[in-house]
Amino acid sequence: MRMLHTMIRVGDLQRSIDFYTQILGMKLLREKDYADGKFTLAFVGYGDEKNHTVIELTHNWETNSYDLGSGFGHLAIEVDDVYAATELIRSRGGKVTRDAGPMNAGATIIAFVEDPDGYQIELLGPK
């Protein structure tokens, strides 16, 4: 068994694709419209779906926003240097919600950024 993808619903598909590709540096792996269901799926990630876990962006055509609720925490991405990644994301127009620094009650360096729909993404250095 292996983890394939995480699905998140997005209000503006192109805005989300732009964020994940242009700001976080992922690739758009595939995209397909389902006209009968009035939705589009787009898959983004850092590598092919055969060898990597990816993110499925689901856009329901008649929905512009979602209540994220209180159950979802965050996605996590490993980066070589949390400080440098945070500054790169900020320079590309990304929203940094927690600057790079030690986590609460620990020494691990983390940062948080937010995607256009409000999903939190944690940046962590290599273990």
Nearest in space to 83 (alpha carbons), one of 99, 94, 105, 95: 99
Tell me: do 20 and 45 sit in the same domain: yes
Each of the 127 residues of the chain gets a pLDDT tens digit; together they read 899 999 999 999 999 999 999 999 999 999 999 999 999 999 999 999 999 999 999 999 999 999 998 889 999 999 999 999 999 999 999 999 999 999 988 889 999 999 999 999 999 998 7
Residues 6+ apart with CB under 8 A from 67: none
User: Within a domain: residue 53?
Assistant: yes
122 is an active site residue: yes
Q: How many helices (H) and strands (E) does the chain have?
A: 2, 8
Burial 20-32 (b: 16+ CB within 10 A, else e): beebbebeebeee
3-state SS, residue 30: strand
What range defines the domain where residue 96 resides?
75-124
User: Within a domain: residue 94?
Assistant: yes
User: Within a domain: residue 67?
Assistant: no
Among 31, 87, 114, 122, which one carries the catalytic annotation? 122
